[in-house]
């Protein structure tokens, strides 16, 4: 079953603009991760935010987490054409038995120069 859902499904912006993607999830989590996937490639980990954290930065990336709303956002500032990719959130369920990361369907970002 789908745990995370990204919004929007697709986003087109110009170079230099900021891109914001959102992720909503259904159950409590240990942490939430964001991944990027270039066409025809595997996913690459971008950033992990733990359930007790509210905001995290990495370079031009800013991730927020609101556990009360069960949502997260990924902000890419000053976007570049090379940021064109699909972006996925993945949740690590708060489950003692241990389960795999559950991914959403992703947001496809297109940055034009």
Partner 1 sequence: GAGVSQSPSNKVTEKGKDVELRCDPISGHTALYWYRQSLGQGLEFLIYFQGNSAPDKSGLPSDRFSAERTGGSVSTLTIQRTQQEDSAVYLCASSPRQVRSPLHFGNGTRLTVT
User: Which residues make up the interface to partner 1 (CB under 8 A)?
Assistant: 2, 30-31, 33, 35, 40-45, 48, 88, 90, 92, 98-106
39 versus 113: smaller Cβ distance to partner 1: 39
CA-angle at 103, arms to 99 and 106, nearest 5°: 175
- Determine how many CB atoms are found less than 10 A away from the CB of residue 101: 16
21 versus 102: smaller Cβ distance to partner 1: 102
14 versus 27: smaller Cβ distance to partner 1: 27
Q: Write down the least CB distance from residue 74 to partner 1, Å.
A: 15
For residue 30, the 8-state DSSP code is: E
Q: Give the C-alpha separation, 32 to 63, whole Å.
A: 10
């Amino acid at each position: 079953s789908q745990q995370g859902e990204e919004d929007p499904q697709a986003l087109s912006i110009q170079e230099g603009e900021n891109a914001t993607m959102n992720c909503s999830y259904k159950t409590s989590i240990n942490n939430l991760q964001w991944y990027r996937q270039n066409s025809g490639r595997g996913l690459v980990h971008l950033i992990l935010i733990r359930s007790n954290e509210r905001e995290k930065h990495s370079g031009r990336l800013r991730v927020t987490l609101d556990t009360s709303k069960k949502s997260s956002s990924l902000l890419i500032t000053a976007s570049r054409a090379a940021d064109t990719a699909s972006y996925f959130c993945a949740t690590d369920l708060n489950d003692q038995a241990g389960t795999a990361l559950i991914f959403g369907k992703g947001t496809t970002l297109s940055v034009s120069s």
